[in-house]
Structures are given as structure tokens and as C-alpha cells.
Structure 1
Amino acid sequence: MSSLSPRHRSGVYIGRFQPPHTAHLRVMAEALGKVETLVVVIGSAWAPRTLKNPWTAGEREEMVGAGLQEAGVDPARVRFAAVPDHPYDEDRWLAAVRAGVAAQTGGGSDVALIGHLKDDSSYYLRSFPDWPFLPTAVVSPLSATDVRRAYFAGELESVAGMVPPAVHAWLEAFRQTPDFAELEAEAAWLRAAQAEAGTWPPLRVEALAVVRDPAGRVLLVRREERPGRGLLTLPGAEVLPSETLAAAARRAAAGALGVTPDDPALTLSPTPATVYDAPGRSVRGRVIAHVFGLAWAGLSEYGGWTDAHEALSHPEAFFEDTHALLEPLLRPAAPR
């Protein structure tokens, strides 16, 4: 660590840390030579456990803390801020980062941003122009994606070479949990799906139905297959060659309700469908989603009806980006 006096009161280091690897910890140690207190912003908080996000924000905080303690860092100089993803609302994500940092710094203005502009994934480092940028001297080919891939493939020797010993010990203990067993099964499913597909990622087009009843509740279903078994999602269907996107959405909604697609109590909103086509939105491949709004005026005996506020309160319960798709539709409109 540098012997120079810190130049800034607070530093901010943003990442997902899934998991924190050796380079992450080296950047943090370097940053503490330039700032008095380091705020580690842990992204993708309150997301469901998936192969991309296997560990909760609290678990990642534990791993980072263990690694820093092992390196002799004073824990009082490091604080944490958990920030959820807002993949389709950049302004909300930026505001969440600022709020999380302000909560840990008391709103102080002497804040610097630490990072490395390595590729397009580092775009956010240009999104805080009022925070001086402190580029790190740590340049490493290490990738958390590679760590996860090796970890869930049982390549433990490779993992040991990519993470600090304290983090490796934490990951070894996690292997004994039911959560690991479920994620390991998801990884096996993905390997099998990739082998079967031949060309990966396969292109899929799906229609999703946001069905509301007169009380304003939304219709949700639980996935019964991998990936994401047991997580909440919207009624959806892959589009058949013989049907339109709207017809596929209506078919999916009717199936969830236990009625026929031509039931007059099920009506399609005149508002055009919203298209979500981010290339990495799904582990199932290149999945393009068309989201339709529908209304149900019949009996609401199906058990999947959920209050809109309740639905938005538990992002960790949703499959992939379902929560993000629902937010703009269910969130109350801002007062004018």
C-alpha cells in the first residue's frame, strides 16, 4: 500500500464481485492508498440465485471482507453499499449508486471513483462526471466469469489460482450448501443444452403476457423446469410458425388461467408490445421477448394473482429479468 497520504476522503469501487477475485482485492488495497475510506458498491443486489449471480450481496460482502482482513486492511476503512440492477433504466441505477454512496459517506462531496476502463462493460465509469476518476494500476486478465465457470465445473485447482485464500475457503464452505447443489444442477443443465444445441446461443422469440385483473393484481406463474426452477415469471410461450406474437401471448395467458384463448373475458391491450432484446438477458440463449398487456374480467380463482406492490417488493423471487420487465408497468406513475 502506498505511503502517501490519502488525497480524497472517500473512494468508490463499483462491481458485481461474483465472486471477488485476486485483482479485485488488489484494486481495493491500492485504492486505500489514495482515499481515507473506500465504499465498495456491490451490484446486482437482491437478484435471484443464478449462474451469473450465484451469491447474495451479503455473501459477497463477507467474501470481500475476508479477503481484505487476510491482506491486513483495517475493516473500519471499508464500507459497503448494495445496489440492485435496473437493466432497462440507466437513470434509476445511477441514482441508486449515488444514494448508496451518500448513505456511507454522509453525503460528502470529496468522492473519487476507482476503476479500469478495460472494455464496454466499464462504461459506467464515465457516468459520474463530478467524481474525479482514479485509474487503477492493476491490470489483470482475471474474470469473475471464468471463476464461476471453473467453480461450477468442479475445477477447484483453477479457482484456487484466481481468488485469495480466504475467498477460496468461503467458496469451499459454500459447496456444502443446498444452494450450491441447485446451482451445480443448473450448470449441468446449461452444459447439456449447449451440447445439444450445437450452435450457441440459439435464437428464440417469445411472447410474454402481463395480465391484470379488475383489482389491479398481476398474474404470475412459477417455472417448473430449468433454468430458474421455482422462480416467478410471466405467462409466456415461444411463437409458433402459424401464429402472431399477440396470439402467442394470448395463448400463454389463457393456459395460465385455465381457459381457452378465445375466452371473451381475456382482452388484449391496444398498447403495442414492448420488445426486450438485450443479447445477454437470458441464459437460455439469444431470447427476444415481446411483452403484451392483457386484462382479465372473469373469475379470479387462479392462485397466481399477486398485488403489484407485493410483486415489486421481492426482485429476488423472479426469473431472469422478469422483475425489470414488470417495474415500468406496475410502478405507480410519478405525480406531475
Structure 2
Amino acid sequence: MNPPAGAVYVGRFQPPHAAHVGSVLHALEAAPRVLVLPGSANLARSVHNPWSAPERASMFRAVLREAGADVRRVTFRPLPDHFDAERWAAEVRAQAASVFGPAAALALVGFEKDASSAYLRWFPGWSRLNVPQTPELNATDLRRALFEGQPLPPAVPAAVRAFLEAFAHTPAFTRLQAEWRAVAAARAALPPGVHLAEERWLWRAEERVMLHTRPGPIGQGLWELPGHVLPPGQPPRAGATAVFDHPARALVAPTAAHIYLAEPPPAFACHAVPLTTALARPRRFSEDHHVILTRLLGLG
């Protein structure tokens, strides 16, 4: 088989660690150029996604330089999260085509799925570039150490460690540390393995959309669609236009959002935001609410 013209590496990299760097170094041995796509680029800062795509790319570049890699051969592009596998795959293909050309022979780095029919359908003509086995590393554990004030594990490269130590002195860190504690407390108060439901209203009037600003420590200051999370076991009201139930969409627990295209009930405080402003600021929204807004209004 001919070597690929390029390799594509997708991940959240929250934050980049030694295994991520090793994967790119291995890809650079197999392909002349590597495209790194930091995912969830359209989501607000949260304990699940603390750092923006540019911040992660900056960390990644610094670590690759430390490792002696030719960073001129590595391209970084932000990858939004659609909370939909086929939309995600289409976005990956589009990003790769914009960098390598539509007909380039490409390899996907470290993809967890096997060469199943789904894999072949999502990335037709692509090969899989397996990376060497490394000791198990978990970015969740790195974030836990950071937000709980514990020593960072050795898997954190020097350049990333320096970034995280500086980040720990910012207002964003202070907010996220409070969110970490609040998320942990909210999870502890729920029955094990619970799945929740929430009711949200999407109302557009005169090129404005009705939104609510979150007051509590989880997503503080972010916009969301007016509504509420229901107590465990309580079913949502009938008549929802759509249901968004991706398992990773909510911070606290798996939550299915039932969306009603109607004016919010008076019980839910909200304010009007110009639609153009709302569409232009995806990282101002809590969780996947910007994705819901754009998809249901046909503006994504």
C-alpha cells in the first residue's frame, strides 16, 4: 500500500498529554503532513472542556517543539461538536479536504473504531494508522488533579504543565473550580445510573431569540434555552418538537432535552437576544444549546 499523503488526528486534547504527542510523532513518521483537529471547539469553557481550541493548539505546538518535531508539517484546525456522529464525520472529511485536497489518500490516527461498515461509510478510502501502545493515560484524571489542587501526573509535558500552572491563576480557573465542586455535588445527589429529562423552549420573534442566563456555579453566566431539568423519574410534557439525547451533551448526568417551539411559560425568566448575536457566539452557550438553536432554526 502506498503511504498516505496526510494523516488526520481527532481528539479533545483537554489537555494534550504524552500519549497525544506520541501519536502525532508516530503519524509524522508515516505521513508528510498531519492535520490535528481539536474537537468540541464550539463549546463554552466547562469542567469537561476547560480550554479553547486555540489554547489546546498552542499547548500542542509547544510540546511538539519540545519533542523536536517539525511543527511546520502539523496543521491545527478547530473542529466543532455537532452531537451527531454522521455530522461529525462529515465535518472531519470537509476539514481534511480543505487541507489536503478532496482526492488525497489519507489515514486516520488512533481511531477507536475498527474497520466496520460505519467506519468505511464515514471515511471512504481512508486507511487507519495505528499508534504504538502506551500506558493508559486519562485526561479526566489530569483535570481532576488540576481542579482539586493535587500534583499533576508525570504524563503532563513541561510546556503543558507551565500553561496549566499559569491558568490556575486566572478568573476562568476560579469559576471552573467552583463548577467542578458543584458538578460533583450534583452527581452525588442523584441515584446511581440515573437518566434525566429536561424541558426547554425555543422561541424566535422579530429576529430575536429568548434566552436565559445561568446564575449558579454550573455554567455561570452562560446562555441557555429557557426551561428546567426535571426531577428523576418525572416525564416531560407532551408535544416536544425534538429531543436531543446525546449521552455527552450534559455535564451532570445523561439528560434528554425535550424542545418546544413555543413561547416559554411565564415561570421561566428569559430575555431577548438578537438572533445574529446568538448565532455568532456559540461559546457563550451552556452545553449544546447553541447546537439545538441552530439546528431547529435551520441555520446550522
Q: TM-score range by the shorter chain?
A: 0.7 to 0.9
1:36 aligned onto 2:32? yes
1:211 equivalenced with 2:211 (yes/no): no
TM-score when normalising by structure 1: 0.78
For the Cα contact (< 8 Å) 1:246–1:292, is it kept in 2? Answer: no
Q: Distance in 1 between matches of 2:231 and 2:63?
A: 51
Match of 1:234 among 225, 243, 257: 225
Q: Supply the distance in 1 between the matched residues of 2:75 and 2:55 (Cα, whole angstroms).
A: 14
Name the Cα RMSD after superposition. 2.8
1:62 and 2:58 correspond = yes
CA–CA separation in structure 1 for the residues paired with 2:231 and 2:108: 48
The runs of 5 or more residues in structure 2 that have no matched partner are: none
The whole-number CA distance in structure 2 between the counterparts of 1:218 and 1:224 is 19
- Alignment partners' CA distance in 1, 2:298 and 2:235: 28
CA 1:146–1:239 in 2, change beyond 3 Å: closer, same or farther? closer
SS of 1:311's equivalent?
helix
Once residues 104 and 316 of structure 1 are traced to their aligned partners in structure 2, the CA distance between those partners, rounded to angstroms, is 25
Superposed displacement of residue 101, structure 1: 2.0
Distance 1:174 1:66, change over 3 A: same
Q: 1 CA distance for matches of 2:24 and 2:120?
A: 16
| Structure with more contact order per residue of length (Cα contacts < 8 Å, sep ≥ 6) | 2
**Could you give the per-residue CA deviations for residues 151-183 of structure 1, whole angstroms, max 9, x where no partner exists?**
211112xx2312212211111111111111111
Deviation at 1:54, TM superposition (A): 0.3
1:322 aligns with 2:295: no
Taking a change above 3 Å as real, the CA distance of residues 329 and 307 of structure 1, as seen in their structure-2 partners, is: farther
1:153 aligns with 2:144: no
Q: Number of paired residues?
A: 292
Secondary structure of the residue aligned to 1:130 is coil
Show the counterpart of 2:182: 189
Tell me which of 272, 275, 283 is aligned to 1:305. 272
CA distance in 1, matches of 2:52, 2:180: 18
Q: Distance in 2 between matches of 1:109 and 1:86?
A: 25
Confirm or deny: 8 A CA contact 2:212 2:270 kept in the other structure: no
Q: Give the C-alpha shift of residue 72 in structure 1.
A: 0.5
* Whole-Å separation in 1 of the counterparts to 2:283 and 2:137: 28
Post-superposition offset of 1:311: 1.9
Give, in angstroms, the shift of residue 15 of structure 1. Answer: 0.8
Return the alpha-carbon distance in structure 2 between the equivalents of residues 184 and 308 of structure 1. 31
Q: Structure 1 residues 212 and 283, CA, compared in 2 at 3 Å: closer, same or farther?
A: same
The aligned runs of 1:14-93 (5 Å cut-off) are: 14-88=10-84, 90-93=85-88
Instruction: State the distance in 2 between where 1:277 and 1:91 align.
Output: 15
- Alignment partner, residue 162 of structure 1: 155
Question: Partners of 1:303 and 1:117 in 2: how far apart?
Answer: 41
Identity of aligned residues (%): 40
Question: Which amino acid in structure 1 is aligned with residue 5 of structure 2?
Answer: R
Q: 1:19 offset after TM fit, Å?
A: 0.6
For 2:260, the equivalent position in structure 1 comes to 292
The CA distance in 1 between the partners of 2:231 and 2:20, in whole Å, is: 46
Q: Once the 2 structures are TM-superposed, how far is the Cα of residue 71 of structure 1 from its aligned partner?
A: 0.3
CA positional deviation for 1:114: 1.4
TM superposition score normalised by structure 2: 0.87
